[in-house]
Amino acid sequence: MSPSIGWLHIGDPHLEAADGWESRDRLRRIVAEANDHLGNLDFAFLPGDIANNGLAEEYGALHDALFPLRLPWRAIPGDHDMAPGGLGNFLGALAEANRPETEVIAGHRCIFLDIVSGGGGGPDFRLTMHHRNRLAQELAIAAAAGQPALVFMHAYPGDLAADGAEIARIIADAAVRFVSTGHTHYNELLNDGRTIYGAVRSTGQIEEAGGAPGYAVVCVHDGVPSWRFRPLGQPFPMLQIVSPCDLRLATRLFEPAQVPRPGPVDLVARSFGPLSGPVQASVDDRAAARLAPEPDGFWRGTIEIDRPGLFRVTVEGGGAWDEIELLVRPAEAPPKRRPPVALGESCHAIGCWPRAGLLGTRLGPNSNGRDW
């Protein structure tokens, strides 16, 4: 099995009494759904703005909601956690094991950044010199150890008040495949040509899709990123193609796992929730292969694509399905790529992608939404 990691990305909780603890109750429902169907993921991630006002009772609500969760969980602070003027309540409420700076999970070096305590409160996002140095150090360790690196931070580098371009360049140069973020309140994926950034709809303060809460399932399989948002209450099982790469998420155009060559293509999907099979793959609605089950919900098979082009690859089984747009190019004629510009900036948002759960509305406090 190729190196693979998967996590449950929960949007900013914004826990508070003022909403009648609706945010807490939504988080409870996410926990229940994860326990029932997502136990083969590696961990759950909360990207900051845990407590809307940084109050001790709001962190109490967090522990109340997460206590039943069977997955290990990790969290970082957001600007709302700084509301009391510092992170004292955040640090006092969360055990160190739940807020590591770095952790190796499923063979990947996961780097958890604090981009709020270096600022002056509110969305004044800055890295302290400690966290800047730690980022560079951990990325170097990952490269030396042959560990794929992943970064977790509250906002995009382009949202930093200082040195955002430099931080994004560090992330790009280190070949970080995925950065999980919060802050937007809406679902969004950026592809800046080097790295994929993914933000998930807030749990407590939602405007898009009529306020429907949910979560994302994020996987990086053999360096290939995949991301699917699921509104709460959708039926299971779930299928997610984890390799090869959807064209929208391709950043390493010379890698066959992202842009295959004509010929046999290794196809890997992952199921969540009970799925006994069979799982069938098709290319442009033509049956192509039956996938064989492997441990931890993986399904693998080989499809034949004998010419270059853009193809629609679908997997179906047990009432679940997933689909990607797959670019196939000869080794001697890879796709052209321009030099990167505006790394880590929201101008690289891939826009509307219904299959992944992206609406492209950008309804949130830092864009077109309310002033929460």
Mean pLDDT of 136-150: 97
Q: How far apart are CA 281 and CA 303, in angstroms?
A: 8
Q: What is the pLDDT of residue 316?
A: 98
Mean pLDDT of 225-245: 97
Mean pLDDT of 83-111: 97
Q: What is the pLDDT of residue 2?
A: 64
Mean pLDDT of 170-182: 97
Sketch out the chain's domains with CATH numbers.
4-234 (3.60.21.10), 247-328 (2.60.40.10)
Q: Strands 263-272 and 238-243: what pairing?
A: antiparallel
Mean pLDDT of 164-186: 97
Query: Which tens digits make up the pLDDT trace of 261-272?
Result: 999 999 999 999
Mean pLDDT of 179-203: 97
% of the chain beyond a pLDDT of 90: 92
Per 3-state DSSP, what percentage of the chain is helix, strand, and coil (rounded to 5)?
Answer: 25, 30, 45
Using pLDDT thresholds of 50, 70 and 90, give the confidence band for residue 369: confident
The position carrying tokens 């004044």 is 124
Let me know the angle formed at the C-alpha of 152 by 83 and 20, rounded to the nearest 5 degrees.
40
- The answer to whether residue 362 scores a pLDDT higher than 60 is yes
| Distances, alpha carbon 141 to alpha carbons 110, 134, 138, 150, in Å | 11, 10, 5, 13
Q: What is the pLDDT of residue 363?
A: 87
Q: How far apart are CA 347 and CA 342, in angstroms?
A: 8
Using pLDDT thresholds of 50, 70 and 90, give the confidence band for residue 64: very high
Q: How far apart are CA 356 and CA 354, in angstroms?
A: 5
Using pLDDT thresholds of 50, 70 and 90, give the confidence band for residue 1: very low
Q: Which amino acid, 24? A: R
Supply the mean pLDDT for the chain.
Answer: 96
Query: Which tens digits make up the pLDDT trace of 290-347?
Result: 999 999 999 999 999 999 999 999 999 999 999 999 999 998 988 888 888 999 999 9
Query: Which tens digits make up the pLDDT trace of 18-28?
Result: 999 999 999 99
Query: Which tens digits make up the pLDDT trace of 151-166?
Result: 999 999 999 999 999 9
